[in-house]
Amino acid sequence: MISIEQATTLLLNGKLVAIPTETVYGLAADAKNPTAVQKIYTVKGRPATNPLIIHIPNSDAMIEWAINIPQNAWKLASAFWPGPLTLILNRHPSVPKIVTGGQDTVALRVPNHSLTLALLNQFGGGVAAPSANRYGRISPTTAQHVEKSLGNAVDYILDGGPCTIGIESTIVSLVGPSPIILRYGSISALALRRVLGENLTDKDNHPAIEVPGTSHSHYAPLQPLHLLDKETLMKTLLQWIEQNKKVSVISFKERPAALSPLILKWICMPSQPQFYAQQLYQQLHALDKEKSDCIVVEVPPPSEEWLAIRDRLQRAARPL
């Protein structure tokens, strides 16, 4: 049975609760309780320097967690919250430093999921929540994924069904002279520009900016994943089949009939980024259970609408 009351009580008692959001499931603890927040780092095996996002019930709550809030933050909050956008702002002195990985900035977001919004309203505070997976692995998009990867290490899983967006939020830093995209997500640079009335740069334009927790290897399945263009993919597959390698394939095309018997699994993905994102982690979790030697993924198109997906795939991938 789904119980918001039970989840609220556990959070108030310093326990860990997995929460559904529209992006991925989060592993939540009371953001004002350093002992509870420490458990998140321990359970995930996450470095203490990798800061957590604080999930708050509404935009008005921003003032409890951040100071010197710029006008741009209010504009973005009113356009996109609740929703898949995380804002980096100056940390309010009352935010425990363990939440921010020791930094003087804080990440805030109002998630768009009715159960989690109900939980946050009843809890009355903010919850620190990274994605509810072991460090470096694939983010969970169902309660079953959380159960499988964290099991008894989490005190309660609030099952809100499969996540509708499927990849993590867009992160925008508002602490510098101009807004910077730190992580791409389903809210695009264009959508942000429409609201802010100015062009946004991303962290590649600011090599001096260190974004904690964006280490290269991330979102990775257990088997090696190779990201290949269409031609290389077909050539490599033919070689591997000759060598009796068992391969799983994520492609935009249907499985060519000639290849069928030796290929363990062939997944044909949607050609629209929104639907691709919705399925991506679900498919990677499923492929992790197969006994293939590796996963090959056809690289998505180079256009801007595929940026967030290409970023996740590049960080999951290893060179051939």
Q: Where along the sequence are the contacts to Mg ion (CB under 5 A)?
A: 131
Q: Does 248 interact with ligand TXA (rule: CB under 6 A)? A: no
| Secondary structure E strands in the chain | 17-19, 26-30, 53-55, 66-67, 85-91, 105-109, 127-128, 156-157, 170-173, 180-183, 201-202, 225-228, 247-251, 265-268, 294-298
DSSP code of 214? -
User: Binding ligand TXA by CB under 6 A: which of 70, 162, 212, 224?
Assistant: 212
Rounded CA gap, 123 and 178, in Å?
34
How far is the C-alpha of 115 from the C-alpha of 94, rounded, in Å? Answer: 27
How many other CB atoms are there within 10 angstroms of residue 299's CB atom?
A: 18
Least separation in angstroms between residue 214's CB and ligand TXA is: 5
Site track 9-38 with ligand TXA (rule: CB under 6 A), x = hit: ------------x-xx-x------------
Rule CB under 6 A: say whether 105 interacts with ligand TXA.
yes
Is 82 near ligand TXA (CB under 6 A)? no
Nearest 5°: the CA angle 139, 173, 186 is 45
Kindly tell me which of 149 and 251 has the beta carbon lying closer to ligand TXA. 149
Query: From CA 179, how far away is CA 175, in angstroms rounded?
Result: 8
Which of 95, 182, 233, 317 is close enough to bind ligand TXA by CB under 6 A? Answer: 182
Single out the residue of 59, 123, 166, 168 in contact with ligand TXA (rule: CB under 6 A): 168
Contact by Cβ (8 Å): 139, 130: no
Among 86, 304, 43, 75, smallest CA distance to 212 is for 86
Q: Any idea what DSSP says for residue 159?
A: -
CB of 172 to ligand TXA, least distance (A): 10
What value, to the nearest 5°, has the Cα angle with vertex 147 and ends 146 and 153? 95
Residues across the chain: 320
**Binding region for ligand TXA (CB under 6 A) out of 31-39, 49-57, 220-228, 276-284:** 49-57
Q: What angle do CA 124, 129, 135 make, to 5 degrees?
A: 165
Nearer to ligand TXA, 136 or 290 (CB): 136
Using rule CB under 6 A, residue 181 touches ligand TXA: no
- Residue 8 interacting with ligand TXA (CB under 6 A): no
List the single partner that 106 binds among ligand TXA, Mg ion, none, CB under 5 to 8 Å by kind.
Answer: ligand TXA
Nearer to ligand TXA, 109 or 310 (CB): 109
Q: Which one of Mg ion, ligand TXA, none interacts with residue 214, CB within 5 to 8 A by kind?
A: ligand TXA
Q: Which residue is nearest to ligand TXA (CB)?
A: 213
Among 83, 130, 273, 300, the residue binding ligand TXA under the rule CB under 6 A is: 130
Contacts of residue 11, Cβ cutoff 8 Å, sequence gap at least 6: 17, 28, 29, 30, 36, 119, 123, 127
Instruction: Provide, rounded to whole angstroms, the least separation between the CB of residue 82 and ligand TXA.
Output: 11
Are the CB atoms for 40 and 52 separated by under 8 Å? yes
Query: Least distance (Å) from ligand TXA to the CB of residue 89?
Result: 8
Out of Mg ion, ligand TXA, none, what residue 113 binds, judged by CB under 5 to 8 A for its kind, is none
Q: Is there binding between residue 88 and ligand TXA (CB under 6 A)?
A: yes
Per DSSP (E only), the strands in 129-200 are 156-157, 170-173, 180-183
Interface with ligand TXA (CB under 6 A): 21, 23-24, 26, 50-53, 84, 86, 88, 100, 103, 105-107, 109, 111, 129-131, 168-169, 171, 182-183, 211-214
